[in-house]
Structure 1
Amino acid sequence: MHETPDRLSAVPYCCQWASAHLAGQIIRGELALADDPGWRDSGARDVDEYARWASHVCGMACLNMVLAARGAGRHPVLELARRSLPYGAYTVDGERINGMIYAPFVRYVAEVFGLDAKVHVGLRTDELPALMGQAEYFMASVHPWIRWPDREPPKKGGHLVLLTRATPGSVRFHNPSGEPGSQADVELPLATFDRYFAGRGVAILPAASV
């Protein structure tokens, strides 16, 4: 797993693709997932499994960051996804992968990692600062075009980023599918974040509250 230096927060960065430094090429379609040279670091059993799953594991990359920040080590992202399957965090229908599904994910992280997590829906963006006053992290559903904050997204949601801070003026987050230079400690005005945020996600509560 290629990691980006983390200058601002204490949360190590994890990309959902094995080669974070090649994320831009993957996003632009210049590098096929089957040609990702780091695929073995993902925990995939073979390159076909990696190519099938790697674009669906933003939530597991967020989980990996939380675990690393908590001192629980770093885990191969696809191994985290595979371990979540018995809980129903993903459903697989032929070639179609659906997920990550929040409620089963909450059960998974509680039973396997002892994390206290809570699903939130119907959130307004201006409620994020208060939420982050209670939560340690928030896995927020945003449109993946949040990597390009100058673009207007066609809809909201569909991708998870890990919020590490929220103030009345801005949010800071790690983006598992960000391009190099916009992966770790991305800071956006709250109004800009609102254009991508679907009003739902999973809060990770402080360890002391368990």
Structure 2
Amino acid sequence: MTSGAEIIHQVPYYSQWESPGLVRAILSKEVDAADDPLWASSGAATQDEYAFWSWRLCGMACLRMALDFWWGVAPPSVTLAGECVEAGAYVRHGDKLDGLIHAPFAAYARERWGLEAQARPELAVQELAGLLAEGRLPMISVHPSVRELGPTPERPGGHLVLAVGATEDGLVIHNPSGFDGESQQFARVPWRDLPRFYAGRGVVLGAPQGLADAG
């Protein structure tokens, strides 16, 4: 799927939960997200607010990774989510949430953070390695079970991960809901397996123009 040298961008990792080591326990409901001891670092005003958002912050975790990589800053996840609500990238209906909506999110990333950002409702697997070689970071929609490379889901998508590299054998991702020490940072997804989880869409992020020019 790739040609030439391996591509690995040294992007910092952030989980969608403030305590990456608790992800497995939170997902299995052994620990309530509201009991995450680091909840206040998210920017949430209350534990309940954090618990609501934490299950929905995969896109914000990806954004934090990109911002830290290019800008050296990682604003709190719930703070970023609030800005995305104002930008129309999330639409909240009580206890339900629509989003992350890719087009308004890409506009927000451009206008608020100066990133190159393009919503791609069609983004082929075959394009990913080339985009990474150009220095871009694709946020792609995959099924959450990609963390374990489990059985083929009924439908792909529903969760955002950040592609940070490509090898001859597979895509390298930072997964906001991956398991600590297993599938969080620089996790390898074989090219042969990726289509089972990947919905074929995402948002392609690129360096701010000044940094890109300097590079």
* Fold in common (TM above 0.5): yes
Alignment check: 8 A CA contact 1:140 1:160 kept: yes
Alignment check: 8 A CA contact 1:170 1:189 kept: yes
Counterpart in the other structure of 2:63: 63
Letter paired with 2:45: R
When structure 1 is superposed on structure 2, of 11-20 and 159-168 the one drifting more is 159-168
Q: Could you tell me how far 1:121 is from its partner in structure 2? A: 2.1
When structure 1 is superposed on structure 2, of 118-127 and 156-165 the one drifting more is 118-127
Q: Is 1:186 aligned to residue 215 of structure 2?
A: no
Counterpart in the other structure of 2:3: none
Letter paired with 2:207: P
Alignment check: 8 A CA contact 2:143 2:197 kept: yes
For 1:142 and 1:122, the matched residues in 2 are separated by 13
For 1:48 and 1:17, the matched residues in 2 are separated by 13
Q: Could you tell me how far 1:47 is from its partner in structure 2? A: 0.7
Structure 2 unaligned blocks of 5 or more = 1-7
Q: Could you tell me how far 1:120 is from its partner in structure 2? A: 1.2
Change (3 A) 1:123 1:48: same
Q: Is 1:54 aligned to residue 54 of structure 2?
A: yes
Structure 1 unaligned blocks of 5 or more = 1-7
Letter paired with 1:70: W
Counterpart in the other structure of 2:140: 140
Alignment check: 8 A CA contact 1:116 1:209 kept: no
SS in structure 1 of the partner of residue 154 of structure 2: coil
Counterpart in the other structure of 1:102: 102
SS in structure 1 of the partner of residue 74 of structure 2: coil
Counterpart in the other structure of 1:4: none
Q: Is 1:206 aligned to residue 187 of structure 2?
A: no
Alignment check: 8 A CA contact 2:10 2:164 kept: no
Alignment check: 8 A CA contact 2:156 2:196 kept: yes
SS in structure 2 of the partner of residue 70 of structure 1: helix
TM-score by length of 2: 0.89
1:136-165: CA deviation from partner (whole Å, max 9, x where unpaired): 200000000001113322210000000012
For 1:150 and 1:102, the matched residues in 2 are separated by 26
Letter paired with 1:200: R
Change (3 A) 1:201 1:58: same
Letter paired with 1:143: H
1:29-88: CA deviation from partner (whole Å, max 9, x where unpaired): 111112111111111011111111111110000000001111331211111111121110
Q: Could you tell me how far 1:168 is from its partner in structure 2? A: 5.0
1:172-204: CA deviation from partner (whole Å, max 9, x where unpaired): 010000011210000121111111000000001
1:109-139: CA deviation from partner (whole Å, max 9, x where unpaired): 1111111101112233223223333352000
Letter paired with 2:170: S
For 2:64 and 2:172, the matched residues in 1 are separated by 18
For 2:9 and 2:102, the matched residues in 1 are separated by 25
Alignment check: 8 A CA contact 2:85 2:92 kept: no
Give aligned-pair identity as a percent: 40
For 2:191 and 2:20, the matched residues in 1 are separated by 26
What are the equivalent positions in structure 2 for 1:1-210 lying under 5 Å apart?
9-167=9-167, 169-181=169-181, 182-207=183-208, 208=212
